[in-house]
Structure formats: structure tokens, C-alpha cells
Structure 1
């Protein structure tokens, strides 16, 4: 279940596990996939290289656009230098969970 994947949250803040792929062909949220340990992660692909935080910024922008919130409402709270990240979204958790439920399974 998607709600088991989400990190600690309140009614207005949700943490989402992310697997980022830099230097992709286009910016996109590809879907949800299980990592090696079986935990679900949202697959986010961005075109920029992971230099100077550019990829993290692009991940936040891509995620914000996909969820339908402003860029300032999405931030990386863990994994700034890793492909495996935790993003924090300032949006109702029910809305974020419904958005994740609609993503394709990879």
C-alpha cells in the first residue's frame, strides 16, 4: 500500500521516497518502483547532471509540476548527494497519496 511507503507526515506535509535519475532524456515522473529492499520509491528522471545541486532542484521542480503544487512546496530533506532521496511536499497527505496511487508501477 502506498501509505506505508510515505515517510512521517502531518495533514499538510508528506515525505516521499524518491529514486532520481540524472542526465535523462526528459524531465518526468516515470512511476513507482520497489528498491532492493522492497520499499516503493517514486522514479523521477531529470535532464541535468548532478552538479552543484542542479539535479536536486530539477527533481523538486519536476515533482512539484507532477503533483500540482508550487516549486517552493517541495524540498529534498535527505539524500542530497544520493540517487535515493526523501522529498518533503507541503500538500495535504491525502492528495499526495492519491497522486501516488495513480502512478504506474514499474
Structure 2
């Protein structure tokens, strides 16, 4: 599976697949990894703990800042209690695709 498949464009934006590690030393994105089942995910680390949605909120904020979009346009749509998450970002699909591809580069 190609690294570019860690996201998928939609008519109203894009879906981004992320592997989140909470309780990290710093908030950061670490490029794309492919898991044993062949799926690709953007690796993300946040300082927040996985309690009361704090890590999910920190992830939404980190992705919004990295893409230069309002935080209100980023939401977790799957995997709320899992390390593997799907985020939906609303906006121009072509512009988002370019920005998301840049996130995947180490």
C-alpha cells in the first residue's frame, strides 16, 4: 500500500487516518507508517493523557495547526477510544490533499 493512502479525499474535504500515541514528551507528527495489516497511518504524538477526550482534542488541535485550518473543521469520526483513528477535515479537497501529503513526509 502506498504511503499516500493514509488519507482519502471526499467531496467536502478529506479523511485522515492516524495512529495516536498519548502521554508523549511533545506534540508532533512523525510521518507515515504501514501496519502489519497493510494499512497506512500518519503517526502522531500528543502530551495529553487519554482521559475524558483530552488526547483526542489535542490531536484535533495538532492536525488543524499543521494543516493551517480552523480547529472546528477537524473532527474524529472513528476510533475515539482506539489508537487508530479516522479524522474528517472539511474544506477544499484539492488544497487539503496537498497539505496532507506534505504531513506524510518525514
TM-score bracket relative to the smaller structure? 0.7 to 0.9
- TM-score norm. by structure 1 comes to 0.87
Please, which moves more after superposition, 95-104 or 35-44? 95-104
Aligned counterpart, 1:38: 38
Deviation at 1:39, TM superposition (A): 1.6
Aligned residues: 103
Report the secondary structure of 1:41's partner residue. strand
Gaps of 5+ in 1: none
Spell out, residue by residue over 1:17-73, the C-alpha distance to the aligned partner (whole angstroms, 9 max, x if none).
Answer: 110010111111111111221221111110011000000000000000001101101
Aligned counterpart, 2:62: 62
Aligned counterpart, 1:6: 7
C-alpha separation in 2, matches of 1:66 and 1:27 = 11
C-alpha separation in 2, matches of 1:91 and 1:20 = 23
> Aligned-pair RMSD on alpha carbons?
1.6
Deviation at 1:96, TM superposition (A): 2.3
Aligned counterpart, 2:24: 24
